Amino acid sequence: MIKAKYPVNRFSDIPTPFYYYDLDVLRTSLAEIKRQIEGQPFVVHYALKANVNPEVLKTIKEAGLGADCVSGGEVQAALDAGIVPAKVVFAGVGKADWEINLGLDNDIFCFNVESIPELEVIDELARAKGKTAKVALRINPNVSANTHHYITTGLNENKFGINLTELDKVTQIVKGLQNVKLIGIHFHIGSQITDMSPFQDLCVRINELQDHFEANDIALKNINVGGGLGVNYEHPNHFPIPEYEAYFKIFREHLSLRPGQTLHFELGRSIVAQCGSLISRVLYVKEGTSKKFVILDAGFTDLIRPALYQAYHRVENLSSDLKEEAYDVVGPICESSDVFVKDYRMNQTKRGDIIALRSAGAYGEIMASQYNLRKLPKAYTSDELK
């Protein structure tokens, strides 16, 4: 078992809050992905929106993963990190012209297209450059991901993708466009999915769609099932590596890939969540009328997931092994939602203690803001604090 280990003595002279990335945990996660897809026609793209820390990106690039981008900035970050354009896919409901042009200029692998007007704009911009854009249709499979409603994306009511009812119309339109080439279909049903059955439902839906495309004489080289695999936020020490085995097995067993087809994945959270912690210091322990508050120097400007999605992050006091007490762990920001966790049992805590907010590697540092004119958190890796 590999645990995130903390060089607490090295933390003592670093100003808090900051992000700490355990690159050994990340490398173990990447090695497990590699082991699971070995010998399969599977390609994994890292979804950059989860974390673009340069050291994290470099480690992921070194493991040979491609990139899944949702903005021009991310396309550029992937290319800057040395990920080859042939492994870059670009999704998003609202791609601006400059972002599409960036993708075209760099000959990225594929645009995941979410609407008819977008398809027409890509065709027009590609024509102006004398190029052909490779596209996959992002189809909304109407599969429920059983996750928080802010992070489900594959239902008809969501803004993402092309609905099944429009599919025939869209494929006819694609056939008529000169400067786009349809190379596949794309899906992404949501995030933090820990029960495998939505992925199985997705496979069933894709099999039906494959039959449909074949009946219409459309050969697709690529199937992209998106990301969404969840991690264990309750027990990061016991489950530092996500359930890749069960996850990839679902697709091996339930998706009927045709000969010559490649199956693409876009994993974000599962790759990076467990390697990251937000490290903070206790400013005050305040006695309320009925409870005690631990007031940290980190707030939702540093880690917004609890405030935004009611997400849970395990909190560990790295400076104390005294007996546990119940606390509300809160940040310093002037908003009532700046609470990390309530009624939480943690080793007896005092001013100055160092606190780790666990599983913060995904959608943590990248979502930081300067609200209240706070400084953006810095980041350090296990390699540099060895």
Ligand X SMILES: *Cc1c(COP(=O)(O)O)cnc(C)c1O
| Binding residues vs ligand X (CB under 6 A) | 47, 49-50, 68, 70, 91, 188, 191, 226-229, 266-270
User: Is 88:79 a contact under the CB 8 Å cutoff?
Assistant: yes
Burial of 277 (0-12, 13-18, 19+ CB in 10 A): buried
CB of 133 to ligand X, least distance (A): 17
Closest contact distance (angstroms) between CB of 304 and ligand X is 15
Cα separation, 342 vs 286, in Å, equals 14
**Minimum distance between the CB of residue 228 and ligand X, rounded to whole angstroms?**
4
Residue (65 or 354) nearer to ligand X, CB:
65
| 186 vs 281, beta carbon nearer ligand X | 186
Smallest gap from Cβ 374 to ligand X, in A, equals 25
User: What is the distance in angstroms between the CA of the first residue and the CA of the last residue of the chain?
Assistant: 20
Q: Which residues contact 239 (CB under 8 A, 6 or more apart)?
A: 231, 232, 274
134 CB-near residues (< 8 Å, 6+ apart): 109, 110, 111, 180, 181, 183
- The residues that bridge with 328 in the sheet, in sequence order, are 293
Residue closer to ligand X by CB (options 48, 133) is: 48
Q: Cα-atom radius of gyration of the chain, to the nearest Å?
A: 22
Based on CB atoms, which residue is closest to ligand X, 267 or 333? 267
Helix pair angle (116-128, 97-105), 10° resolution = 50
> Which of 209, 329 has the CB closer to ligand X?
209
Specify the amino acid at residue 175. Answer: K
Taking the complex as a whole, how short is the minimal distance between the CB of residue 334 and ligand X, in angstroms?
30
Q: Which residues contact 62 (CB under 8 A, 6 or more apart)?
A: none
- CB closer to ligand X, 71 vs 349: 71
Q: How far is the CB of 300 from ligand X (least distance, A)?
A: 20
> DSSP assignment of 186-224, as one string?
E---BSSB-SSHHHHHHHHHHHHHHHHHHHTT---SEEE
Instruction: Please report how close the Cβ of residue 326 comes to ligand X at its closest, in angstroms.
Output: 32
How far is residue 98's CA from residue 118's CA, in Å, rounded to a whole number? 13
Q: Nearest approach, Cβ of 181 to ligand X (angstroms)?
A: 20
Give 202 or 296: the residue with its C-beta nearer to ligand X: 202
**Residue with structure tokens 């876009």?**
266
To the nearest whole angstrom, how small is the minimum distance from the Cβ of residue 258 to ligand X? 23
Q: Which is nearer to ligand X, 119 or 294 (CB)?
A: 119
Residue 36 structure tokens: 């699971």
Tell me, rounded to whole angstroms, the distance of Cα 385 from its chain centroid. Answer: 26
Q: Which two tokens stand for residue 160?
A: 């993402």
DSSP code of residue 229: B
For ligand X, give the closer residue by CB, 242 or 299.
242
